[in-house]
């Protein structure tokens, strides 16, 4: 393998296990940096990508978008970074910088978002990646790389809506799902001063949810407990995916309450409460660059960190299987054990 070749793990077709895949690195544009990858988290979005859930996947597909590594090459117009800098990259690796939303500083809503993903053309389950330097974030010095990796997608995904939709500290917030996103959402919500209730279908997660900072814990299927908190929440953050029984959840929102979807659950519901209680269902997608930088320093200042299982990247299929089976506690980060990783 030549020094410039990239070794990644790719799905060759829909739903296939990943297999080693070598390719030439992308050409470095003037704003770009090449980052030699040390760590990459495993996010459910990677699995959705492999399965072409979003109908945008191009195969061979190298997933991975919770990346930390070291800058190994710098474009001519990327003066903010230099070789050797430790940086992190989340789901977004670039944007058009000229559409209506980019010009408003909401570049995560870029009109060209499909081509803005870090995994275009190939993502972070690999030895290196090329991204726009403006989407490569310096990591606080004391923050471990595996911690930063998870914050770059899971962290920003929960932090951004907590700031945007819950601006008063006294609000009552319910976090649905205590997994990769949820266990971080509890920590951020607590640090932001909200009263936090964790709502999970796994009763065995109660102790850990309270340890992450939840004030209360409710089992999702426990109708009696849900009835006790009727009209109890200003905001529900749904981090769960799959099928969800929405009606009891709408009943625990206050009038004018908000349900924010962070994952991609199936949504089919009776609109009666939605309309009569003036509820809002809102989608929320990662966050902009300002929020990303704020989130990293907020997490560092408040000691917010994911629970991590570290695994070698060569075991990526095993890692994906654990995430699919809801066994990861709470996030898996792959470290790069690839011999001959490029420079």
- Which positions touch Zn ion (CB under 5 A)? 43, 45, 95-96, 99, 102, 110, 153
Compute the least distance from the CB of residue 9 to Zn ion, in Å: 17
Cβ nearer to Zn ion, comparing 115 with 243: 115
**Cα angle value 222/195/252 (rounded, 5°):** 40
Q: How many helices (H) and strands (E) does the chain have?
A: 11, 15
CB of 258 to Zn ion, least distance (A): 22
Beta strands in 185-262 (DSSP E): 195-200, 216-219, 233-238, 253-261
Min CB(342)–Zn ion separation in Å: 24
The residues near 327 (Cβ < 8 Å, ≥ 6 apart) are none
CB closer to Zn ion, 90 vs 232: 90
Smallest distance, Zn ion to C-beta of residue 287, A: 12
Beta carbon nearer to Zn ion, 101 or 254: 101
Angle at 10 between CA 336 and CA 332, to 5 degrees: 45
Among all chains, which residue has been given the structure tokens 């459910």?
44
Closer by beta carbon to Zn ion, 50 or else 110: 110
Cβ at position 15, least distance to Zn ion in Å: 19
Quick one: which of 269, 267, 275 has its CA closest to 248? 269
Q: Which is nearer to Zn ion, 101 or 215 (CB)?
A: 101
State the minimum distance, in angstroms, from the CB of residue 105 to Zn ion: 11
We find the least distance from the C-beta atom of residue 1 to Zn ion, in angstroms, to be 29
Looking at the Cβ atoms of 30 and 83, the one nearer to Zn ion is: 30
By CB neighbour count within 10 A (0-12 exposed, 13-18 middle, 19+ buried), where does 333 fall?
A: buried
Report the C-alpha gap between 89 and 137 in whole angstroms: 6
Q: Are 94 and 142 in contact (CB under 8 A)?
A: no
* Shorter beta-carbon distance to Zn ion: residue 62 or 153: 153
User: How far is residue 183's CA from residue 202's CA, in Å, rounded to a whole number?
Assistant: 13
Is there a contact between 9 and 62 (Cβ–Cβ < 8 Å)? yes
């Amino acid at each position: 393998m030549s020094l410039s070749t990239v070794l990644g793990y790719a799905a060759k077709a829909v739903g296939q296990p990943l297999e080693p895949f070598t390719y030439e690195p992308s050409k470095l544009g003037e704003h770009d940096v090449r980052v030699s990858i040390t760590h990459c988290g495993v996010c459910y979005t990677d699995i959705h990508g492999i399965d072409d859930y979003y109908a945008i996947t191009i195969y061979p597909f190298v997933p991975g978008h919770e990346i930390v590594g070291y800058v190994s090459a710098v474009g001519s117009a990327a003066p903010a970074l230099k070789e050797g800098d430790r940086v992190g990259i989340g789901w977004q690796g670039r944007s058009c910088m000229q559409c209506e939303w980019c010009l408003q500083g909401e570049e995560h809503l870029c009109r060209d978002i499909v081509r803005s993903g870090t995994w275009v053309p190939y993502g972070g389950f690999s030895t290196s990646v090329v991204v726009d330097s403006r989407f490569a974030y310096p990591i606080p010095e004391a923050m471990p790389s595996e911690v930063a990796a998870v914050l770059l997608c899971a962290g920003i995904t929960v932090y951004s809506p907590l700031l945007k939709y819950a601006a008063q500290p006294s609000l009552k917030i319910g976090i649905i799902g205590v997994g990769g996103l949820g266990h971080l959402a509890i920590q951020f919500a607590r640090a932001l001063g909200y009263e936090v209730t964790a709502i999970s279908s796994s009763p065995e997660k109660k102790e850990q949810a309270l340890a992450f900072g939840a004030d209360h814990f409710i089992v999702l299927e426990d109708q009696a407990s849900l009835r006790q908190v009727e009209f109890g929440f200003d905001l529900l953050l749904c981090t769960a995916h799959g099928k969800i029984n929405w009606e009891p959840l709408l009943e625990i929102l206050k009038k004018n309450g908000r349900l924010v979807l962070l994952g991609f659950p199936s949504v089919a519901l009776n609109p009666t409460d939605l309309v009569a209680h003036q509820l809002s269902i809102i989608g929320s997608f990662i966050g902009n660059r300002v929020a990303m930088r704020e989130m990293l320093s907020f997490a560092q200042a408040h000691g917010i960190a994911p629970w991590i299982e570290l695994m070698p990247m060569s075991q990526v299929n095993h890692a994906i299987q654990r995430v699919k089976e809801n066994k990861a506690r709470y996030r898996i980060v792959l470290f790069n054990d690839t011999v001959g990783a490029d420079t």
